[in-house]
Structure 1
């Protein structure tokens, strides 16, 4: 990987990986933006550990975007804690369950460029939900992260009938009923569940402030520990 890099560059890469590896590895909702051929493609990161990254092949409309082996691409890791800039050296093409993935290695120091305005707190909270508008059945799930504007929900249900949900959740001892819209859905191949990015709809300013305060206090307590 580093045969074209001098020792100083290698040390810089290793220091940046040591600094940011934990926060990127822990973000189950980590995304990657790839800047290639004067376009930007967004895709899912399936695996991240130290120098190694495995990501799903991005798609432009109906066409998959292919990368040559040993090519170098500029990427942004989009995490709950910020935006991280680096380059990847493409090392391998992987086909699994008829889905194309690429394996790459960090090829330049990771730089943090910005902090997200809407911080997502990684936390597991049990919840129940119904499908709008009919609400025939109630299903169970849990959060993987939450912000004052939305959440990442994990559930065993394959939701395809609607994008509108009504969610019942206990946050810091207070019960909330929140309507939400599914923005994105993907499979969690590790345990057979489904992951849903949900945007909160018409959340009152008071409830939004309460959730934001809970997130801030929890984050501060984690930092102190």
Structure 2
């Protein structure tokens, strides 16, 4: 399995989130809850109880301190862990300016 090089380091951070998986026409495929295991300006490692298929578009609402941001992304890879949970590498692809500012501020606080 080949992974693209990350543009920046991810920082360990546990944040609750909700997500909606979308097909390529942006029709809803499924919804769920999960949490981040790490975060960066360009993506997250998402932990869920169900598998999310690679190359799926995903709309995510993440709670960061007192803010909630909405971000679009793509599932780059997914894997099943020994505890039965799933981890998915998400690359952000559409982020509005407000969400970028909140995300960057949050990451700076963690460094």
**TM-score (norm. length: structure 1):** 0.43
Give the conservation status (yes or no) of the 8 Å contact 1:149–1:208: no
Q: Higher helix fraction: Structure 1 or Structure 2?
A: 1
Which of these two proteins has the greater Rg computed from alpha carbons? Answer: 1
Instruction: Give yes or no for the alignment of 1:118 onto 2:2.
Output: no
Give the conservation status (yes or no) of the 8 Å contact 1:128–1:141: yes
Query: Which runs of no fewer than 5 residues in structure 2 stay unpaired?
Result: none
CA RMSD of aligned residues (A): 2.5
Higher relative contact order (CA 8 A, sep 6+): 2
Corresponding position of 1:201: 93
Corresponding position of 2:46: 153
Q: Aligned to 2:28, what secondary structure does the other structure show? A: coil
Corresponding position of 1:172: 65
**Cα distance, 1:42–1:131 mapped onto 2, change above 3 Å:** closer
Query: Which runs of no fewer than 5 residues in structure 1 stay unpaired?
Result: 1-40, 44-77, 79-115, 220-225
**TM-score (norm. length: structure 2):** 0.82
For 1:68-79, list aligned pairs within 5 A: none
In the TM superposition, structure 1's runs of 4+ consecutive aligned residues that sit over 4 Å from their partners are: none
